[in-house]
């Protein structure tokens, strides 16, 4: 069972999370065509706490960079003291992340909260969390991916199960 889960993670989750999550937030291996595009942030309100180094974008937030889009109710960027590391938090009902990967395939993440902690190398999506690509899906209450170790943990609350749906790979007829 452990071998199957490891293969599933490598096959589905590594491309899903590592290669796409929060590109404007500095995660490596995202769609390279989007990296050189401008980042546009639209929101009804913006608030910045300069003393505590927190930038907040509020109400109907839409962030775009090339094919990448993040829509959320609130996006906060928290800078760590004495460091270039940041924590990015998008919240909504749901917060939604979409992007076309380098191979042209779309990826979608959605959750009540999408969080990226640069210093810890952790991407956490929680609250009705799901990651989908090419018809395959991983969903649960919380999905945590370490971009450094490439380890994924998915969990649900006591009333539900983690669900993984894998689509068969199409074989080349040649």
What is the predicted pLDDT for the residue at 10? 39
Q: Residue 104 carries which DSSP code?
A: S
Supply the pLDDT for residue 172: 64
Instruction: Count Cβ atoms below 10 Å from residue 76 Cβ, excluding itself.
Output: 19
Mean pLDDT of 51-73: 92
Give the model's pLDDT for residue 122: 86
The pLDDT of residue 141 is above 60: yes
* Per-residue pLDDT at 171: 67
**Residue, of 95 and 67, whose pLDDT is higher:** 95
Range 133-145 average pLDDT:
88
Token output for 81: 């003291």
Average pLDDT over every residue of 147-162: 83
Domain range list for the chain:
2-165
Q: Is the pLDDT of residue 17 over 50?
A: no
45 alpha-carbon distance from chain centroid: 23
pLDDT band per the 50, 70, 90 thresholds, residue 60? very high
What would the CATH number be for the domain defined by 2-165?
2.60.450.10
Prediction pTM value: 0.74
At 125 the three-state DSSP class reads: strand
Angle in degrees, CA 51, 79, 131, rounded to 5: 140
Instruction: Report the share of the chain in percent with pLDDT over 90.
Output: 33
């Amino acid at each position: 069972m452990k071998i199957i889960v490891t293969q599933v993670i490598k096959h589905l989750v590594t491309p899903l999370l590592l290669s796409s999550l929060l590109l404007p937030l500095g995660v490596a291996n995202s769609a390279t065509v989007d990296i050189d595009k401008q980042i546009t942030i639209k929101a009804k309100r913006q608030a910045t706490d300069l003393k505590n180094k927190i930038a907040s974008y509020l109400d109907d937030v839409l962030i775009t960079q090339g094919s990448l889009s993040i829509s959320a109710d609130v996006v906060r960027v928290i800078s760590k003291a004495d460091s270039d590391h940041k924590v990015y938090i998008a919240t909504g009902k749901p917060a939604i992340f979409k992007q076309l990967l380098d191979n042209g395939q779309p990826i979608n993440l959605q959750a009540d909260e999408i969080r990226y902690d640069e210093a810890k190398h952790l991407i956490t999506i929680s609250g009705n969390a799901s990651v989908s690509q090419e018809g395959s899906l991983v969903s649960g209450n919380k999905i945590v991916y370490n971009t450094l170790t490439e380890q994924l943990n998915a969990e649900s609350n006591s009333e539900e199960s983690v669900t993984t749906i894998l689509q068969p790979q199409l074989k080349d007829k040649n």
